[in-house]
Amino acid sequence: MDWHFFVQLSSLLVIVLYTVMVFRNVDPLVATAIGVVLGFLFNLSSPIEIGKTMEAALGSFMALVGLIIMLGRGLGEILTETKVSHTMVHKIVYSIGVNTQRRVKIGIVTSSVVIVAVLGTLAGGLAILAPILRPIAGSVKLSRPSMAVLMQAAGEEALILGPFAPPVVALLGVTGISYGSMLIYASIPIALVTIVVTWVMASRLQVQYAHETFPHDATEERFVPTKQQNTATIIFILAFIACVAYGLIFQAKTSYVIFVMLFLSILTGVVGGLRIGKVFHLLVEGMKKNFHLFFIFFLLGPMLDLVQKAGGFAALMKLFVPLEHFGGKIVLSILIGITGAFGMPAASAAVIKMLHEMFSPVALEMNLSVMTFAFSMLLATRITNFAIPGANMFAAMGFAESQNVKAMIKNGLTVTAVQILFLVTYSIIWH
């Protein structure tokens, strides 16, 4: 290896520095912007080249993902305003009956999966769910820590099940696999393992913290949907299913999601009794709340492209090729998962993009199956939020009105251990 190789390898310091900054709670937008600047410096880019790079970034896949995330937040605002989200929760919870702790736990998991998958945001989904579920949990004396861990687990896994959730959009875009294949071979197995482990832990936490319950008022007025809210909900569900089916039949690309988000927003808003002006106002207001994410994704593409241009990923591949003699594809698959889980504390879609850029050359060289590659990337994004206490963990705890951080960490570490074991097992069997 000559000096040129080490110069190329040193460009990976951009990603290392980015990771360190995010771990030290530097604003992700600031960290990404610094990464882009360093990328330009490594490539000795001229002002004209910088302008062309940023122009290309506006039409990049990552910018598209950022726009979809913004539109998803806008749709969420409309579903909240029309009470469609609340109605879906009401139907799910009361259709199964809520007179036992077991049934309430099923209701929490089911409604969390559905709402978060539809909205594409864990915090936004749980914010809608919590006021409806807390009194129900109180009626059967379900503990706050138990509710909190169930909401986090179901919410985290919903983000890899919903067809228009950011991690799913990103994964399908970079790998080219079908949504159905992703569900069967990656998303559903990961979700089942996580939720089953958390279910067991929730039962143990219930015994341990049985005294940490919600106050219960039997006379408290509960949400009951109106006729119009019921109609809007039915129309939304049918339209959502139709959009998914159309996308699957005609093998629609990522850009199709833009139409879906706009179509569902307008249709649901109008049927839900909103004027068209109000619909667009809510759509824009929701998009504003995720504008910073759009900017992160807009900048992330150039940052990674500049590292690639500087030869960083090519140099990394040279380092990883010897893995073929030390476990080969099995070790590579595990390495992808571990790197994404513990080395990239960023938004899930961003992690998937970075992992793909870093490891796709060596994955092709070693003939790693696309599905195994996809599985490792997807599982990596799930491990992070259980292994490292962060926004999603504390959001679930807060919405459950729990202050028991210890219970959240207990569940988080248990889930992490099982997920890593699952990663190793899957890599051995399906490489």
208-242 pLDDT, tens digit per residue, is 998 888 776 555 557 788 999 999 999 998 998 89
List, for residues 145-182, the tens digit of each pLDDT value: 999 999 999 999 999 998 888 899 999 989 999 999 99
Residue ranges of the domains in the chain?
3-212+221-430
Across residues 98-124, what is the average pLDDT?
Answer: 86
pLDDT single digits (tens) 241-280: 898 888 888 878 778 888 988 999 999 999 999 999 999 9
Number of CB atoms found within 10 A of residue 221's CB: 7
Spatial distance between the Cα atoms of 377 and 354, rounded to a whole number of angstroms: 10
Q: What angle do CA 258, 262, 267 make, to 5 degrees?
A: 145
Going by the DSSP 8-state scheme, the letter that residue 186 receives in this structure is I
Q: Which pLDDT score, from 0 to 100, does residue 314 have?
A: 74
Q: Look at 130 and 198; give whichever has higher pLDDT.
A: 198
Listing DSSP states for 173-189 in one string gives: HHH---HHHHIIIIIHH
pLDDT of residue 345: 60
Q: Which residue, among 159, 156, 132, 106, has the nearest Cα to 411 in the 3D structure? A: 156
Q: What is the number of alpha carbons within 13 Å of residue 125 lying toward its C-beta?
A: 31
For residues 195 and 131, the model is more confident at: 195
pTM for the full predicted model:
0.78
- Distance, CA of 421 to chain centre: 21
Q: What is the pLDDT of residues 172-201, one digit of tens each?
A: 989 999 999 999 999 999 999 999 999 999
> CA-CA distance, 431 to 424, in Å (whole number)?
10
pLDDT at 52: 92
